[in-house]
Amino acid sequence: MLIAILFSILCSSANAYHWRTCGGHSQIWRSHNLHFKIQDSSFPLNSAERATVVRALNTWNGQNANIDISFEQGYDATISTGDSQNDIFFTSIDGNNTLAQTHSRWRCCWFFGWRTGYRSSDIFFNTQFLWATSIPRTVREWMTPPIVEDQPAYNIEQTALHEIGHAIGLLHDNRTHALMNETYPHAGSPQMRITPHFDDVEGARRLYGNDETHIDLAAWAIDAYSTSSDPDGTYARVTLNPTKMTVTRGNTYSFTHGIENLGNVAANNVPVVWYLSQDNIISTSDVPLSAYSVWNDLLTFNKSTVAHKIPPQLIT
């Protein structure tokens, strides 16, 4: 019997983003357009690696900042940085601690008024590291550098999201809940979703504007749970990365979760419910662990730990 602890949002802070400036003006793409060439020599058409990069580009496009990120497949025999073309490719980067880099050129000069704006941005991944398209599920898989042969690779999508943030103009923001955190996995471990978070999104909207008013809520577990149960069904075992615990029927346990608002207005009367489920899909056959709690004034990120009693009648 597979037991999962699920929770859902029922419909019904201070920011720390950074960017370059010139003469008091934000450095941005003045056209509000950023076009990349995904180089085929590194990311072949129809490859899983290319698909992860495309997904990362589309993810940034979906954040309701007024910048359009587009791309095409590149077949250039020679790839160089610092020209007027924006490339995404693999190359060797000096230094064992550099997973990837974004090399940008911008204008900052005075000629009867300030002349500013980005001219090019190239993203390159370090060939000295192993890369993967799958999503690691444990803290060790995220945090251990793949120096030894049997150790896991780094996630292309997570790294691409971080570097694309640089390409549109965001600098490092070393808070825990920020994609632009300079230390891998950039707030994208099993404790956080792989996505730009509220501070990253707000930074992009501050740079490029946002004409819409909307609430965009996301809920996720702070810790990833993998589950199993003993053959006799007397208890369900829950693996809490990176430690383990045993959940016994009738006992009470604490679970930590986060809710963040990626929109630009506060959300009120947001009810949250935890369920006991056989899978990761909430259905009428699932067992609610308690009545819902209501969150108010949800504007950015909120973290909460709740205690729930595992009912004697586990689902079958």
Beta strand extents in the chain (DSSP E only): 4-9, 21-22, 25-26, 33-39, 68-74, 87-91, 100-110, 114-126, 131-132, 154-155, 217-221, 225-229, 235-240, 243-248, 252-261, 270-277, 287-288, 293-295, 301-309
Torsion region of 95: left, alpha or beta (phi above 0 gives left; psi -120 to 50 gives alpha)? left
- Over residues 13-38, the mean pLDDT reads 87
Give percent above pLDDT 90 in the chain.
31
| pLDDT at site 143 | 42
The pTM (predicted TM-score) of the whole model is: 0.70
**H/E/C letters for each residue in 88-137?**
EEEECCCCCCCCEEEEEEEEEEECCCEEEEEEEEEEEEECCCCEECCCCC
Q: Of 13 and 131, which is predicted with more confidence?
A: 131
pLDDT of residue 186: 61
pLDDT tier at 230, thresholds 50, 70, 90? very low
Q: Could you tell me the CA-to-CA distances from 217 to 8, 69, 175 in Å, in that order?
A: 11, 23, 20
Residue 103 pLDDT > 90: yes
Whether 133 shows a pLDDT value over 90: the answer reads: no
- Report pLDDT for 198: 79
Give the residue among 156, 149, 158 at the shortest CA–CA distance from 127.
156
> Beta strand 21-22 with 287-288: parallel, antiparallel or unpaired?
unpaired
**Could you read off the pLDDT of 261-312 as tens digits, one per residue?**
766 677 777 777 777 776 666 778 777 776 666 667 766 666 667 777 777 6
| Mean pLDDT to the nearest integer, 118-134 | 90
How many angstroms separate the CA atoms of 246 and 59, rounded?
37
pLDDT single digits (tens) 182-229: 877 666 554 456 788 878 888 999 999 886 766 666 665 554 433 333
CA dist 138 and 148 (Å) reads: 17
Q: Which residues contact 120 (CB under 8 A, 6 or more apart)?
A: 82, 83, 84, 85, 86, 104, 105
Q: What's 21-169's CATH class?
A: alpha beta
- Beta strand 87-91 pairing with 114-126: parallel
**Is pLDDT above 50 for 260?**
yes
Strand partners, 124: 89, 101
For 4, 216, 251, 270, 281, the CA distances from 274, given in Å and listed in that order, are: 10, 20, 16, 14, 12
- Within 10 A of 96 (CB to CB), how many other CB atoms are there? 11
* pLDDT digits 0-9 by tens, 5-15: 343 333 334 45
Cα pseudo-dihedral 82, 85, 86, 87, rounded to 10? -90
DSSP state of 2: -
Nearest CA among 239, 256, 235 for reference residue 247? 235
Q: Please give the residue that has the higher pLDDT: either 80 or 1.
A: 80
Q: Please give the Cα distance from 192 to 211 (Å, whole number).
A: 28
Higher-pLDDT residue of 228, 24: 24
Confidence band of 154 (pLDDT split at 50, 70, 90): confident
pLDDT at site 20 = 93
Cis amide leading into 242 (omega within 30)? yes
The CA radius of gyration of the chain, in Å to the nearest whole number, is 22
Backbone angles phi, psi at 217, to 5 degrees: -95, 140
Q: Domain map of the chain by residue range?
A: 4-10+215-309, 21-169
The share of the chain scoring above pLDDT 70, in percent, equals: 63
Q: How does the average pLDDT of the chain come out, rounded?
A: 74
Q: Which residue has the higher pLDDT, 193 or 65?
A: 65
Alpha-carbon distances of 278 from 225, 263, 312, rounded to whole Å: 13, 31, 16
* Rounded Cα gap, residues 180 and 102, in angstroms: 13
Q: What is the reported pLDDT for 294? A: 63
**CA 97 and chain centroid, separation:** 21
52-63 mean pLDDT: 92
